[in-house]
Amino acid sequence: MSFKACSLQDLTPGEGLRIDSVSPPIAIFLTEEGTVHAIDDTCTHQDASLAAGWVEDCRVECPLHESTFSLRTGAVDQPPAKKGVRVHTVELDGDDVLVELSQDAPNLPPGVKI
Q: How far is the CB of 2 from ligand FES (least distance, A)?
A: 28
The contact set with ligand FES (CB under 6 A) reads 43, 45-46, 48, 62, 64-65, 67, 80-81
Q: Which residue's CB is nearer to ligand FES, number 52 or number 58?
A: 52
Q: Of 31 and 107, which CB lies nearer to ligand FES in the complex structure?
A: 107
Q: Does residue 84 contact residue 69 with C-beta atoms inside 8 Å?
A: yes
Nearer to ligand FES, 77 or 91 (CB): 77
29 closest CA partner among 6, 56, 51, 1: 51
β partners of residue 55: 60
